[in-house]
Amino acid sequence: MSSKEKKSVTILTESQLSSRAFKDEAYEFYKELRKSQPLYPLSLGSLGKGWLISRYDDAIHLLKNEKLKKNYENVFTAKEKRPALLKNEESLTKHMLNSDPPDHNRLRILVQKAFTHRMILQLEDKIQHIADSLLDKVQPNKLMNLVDDFAFPLPIIVISEMLGIPLEDRQKFRVWSQAIIDFSDAPERLQENDHLLGEFVEYLESLVRKKRREPAGDLISALIQAESEGTQLSTEELYSMIMLLIVAGHETTVNLITNMTYALMCHHDQLEKLHQQPDLMNSAIEEALRFHSPVELTTIRWTAEPFILHGQEIKRKDVIIISLASANRDEKIFPTADIFDIERKNNRHIAFGYGNHFCLGAQLARLEAKIAMSTLLRRCPNIQLKGEKEQMKWKGNFLMRALEELPLSF
């Protein structure tokens, strides 16, 4: 999308937001929106009219605004309710990301004990072993695709072990996860995604049957126990929660590790500084989260009550989508926002969201990234891009900022 084309656009569509071309020029586009159109109109197909939010202060305000709902049923009456786009939609959407209080609180409590500070720290040795094992496989070749060889397998192994899922199924999760986060109502994409989600539901049904017969000390067994108690978790909520933990348990971390490595490869002064001062790793991770936010756009929020923002009435049933990527580049909050600075002070990014829906796995993602990046830079000190940075391609994806691949030599 050229600058001339961007100026002529009056309404953005889902397909434009999901395109590779948009991802390539998104930061410049967001900069223009923050200056002149912080509330930008969207056309979201069957979801109706929407608005894109680009400023940090607006994002903070709306992420905790009780007039916005994540659960469609808290906004629409039974007569207004749209038909499900996917046959398997109901089996995979009854999770805490799509819920509002008090249901959200009930669902979050069921899993948050697995993500306490103490429980996360107990995973440190295991994550370190996984990181070393993955690098053992590629180090003799002096080459790797970071996404396939390191950034994807590390978090999927961790979350699979936490949930008690066979590791041999992890490649299936990759395909199913893409179907879930692929926001599109194009007929051919809907049909393909519905087929894949049907496979996912069948897998979950089989997995749950097995866990019922042979419960263990894993998180899925604990959720099944909550479901069996009747009042805490329905069967649909059980399947949806397992799906959410599988997808959210690795997607963000894959992008964090990949995007941070890419940023360092493109900023050799910062890479050298991190080599010389490894104690800057925590700060570097926070800057990577801000600079190339793994989740670019939030999932949808529905307007339950009308309100005014920037002189525009946001009507009931309008959709609000917040660009975390844009908010994290807001010049009013982050001086020199377009500069990657691993020593940035007061880094108040919202890469993991804000308010009730702040990412439950943020601490785990940070630990995985710290171990992954520290191990990678220690064991492969001469790491560099294999090819030109202009050749690296962002995926065409609505929610995520994700590279298709990241070839490295060392």
- Encode pLDDT of 93-136 as tens digits: 889 999 999 999 999 998 888 888 989 999 999 999 999 999 99
d(C-alpha 247, C-alpha 218), whole Å: 17
**Is the pLDDT assigned to residue 310 strictly greater than 60?**
yes
d(C-alpha 243, C-alpha 29), whole Å: 33
The 3-state DSSP class for residue 160 equals helix
Looking at residue 118, its amino acid is R
| pLDDT band (50, 70, 90) for residue 230 | low
Does the pTM of the predicted model rise above 0.75? yes
Is residue 252 within 8 Å of residue 361, measured between CB atoms? yes
Could you give the C-alpha distances from 249 to 34, 160, 183, 364, in angstroms and in order?
A: 31, 9, 19, 9
400 phi/psi in degrees, rounded to 5: -105, 155
**Burial tier of 31 (Cβ tally within 10 Å: 0-12, 13-18, 19+):** middle
Write down the pLDDT at residue 78. 80
Write down the pLDDT at residue 1. 44
What would the pLDDT profile of 161-220 be if each residue is shown by its tens digit? 999 998 888 888 888 888 887 766 666 777 788 888 889 889 999 999 999 999 998 999
d(C-alpha 91, C-alpha 85), whole Å: 13
Smallest Cα–Cα separation from 331: which of 55, 14, 105?
55
d(C-alpha 404, C-alpha 178), whole Å: 12
What would the pLDDT profile of 325-349 be if each residue is shown by its tens digit? 999 999 999 999 999 999 999 999 9
66 or 85, which is more confident: 66
Percent of the chain with pLDDT over 70: 92
Looking at residue 144, its amino acid is M
d(C-alpha 218, C-alpha 73), whole Å: 32
Is residue 318 within 8 Å of residue 304, measured between CB atoms? no
Mean pLDDT (whole number) for 387-409: 93
What would the pLDDT profile of 26-67 be if each residue is shown by its tens digit? 999 999 999 999 999 999 888 889 999 999 999 999 999 999
Find out if CATH 1.25.40.20 is the number for domain 3-409.
no
d(C-alpha 149, C-alpha 405), whole Å: 10
Is residue 278 within 8 Å of residue 375, measured between CB atoms? no
User: Which parts of 121-255 are beta strand (E)?
Assistant: 143-145
d(C-alpha 120, C-alpha 110), whole Å: 16
**Is the pLDDT assigned to residue 361 strictly greater than 90?**
yes
Structure tokens at 294: 């793994």
**DSSP 8-class letter at 51:** E
Looking at residue 100, its amino acid is D
Q: What is the DSSP string of 374-409?
A: HHHHHH-TT-EESS-GGG--B---SSB--BS--EEE
234 or 299, which is more confident: 299
Looking at residue 392, its amino acid is M
**Is the pLDDT assigned to residue 86 strictly greater than 90?**
no
d(C-alpha 409, C-alpha 384), whole Å: 6
**Is the pLDDT assigned to residue 4 strictly greater than 50?**
no
What mean pLDDT, rounded, does the chain reach? 91
Write down the pLDDT at residue 2. 42
Smallest Cα–Cα separation from 264: which of 139, 399, 389?
389
325 or 231, which is more confident: 325
d(C-alpha 401, C-alpha 252), whole Å: 9
What would the pLDDT profile of 363-380 be if each residue is shown by its tens digit? 999 999 999 999 999 999
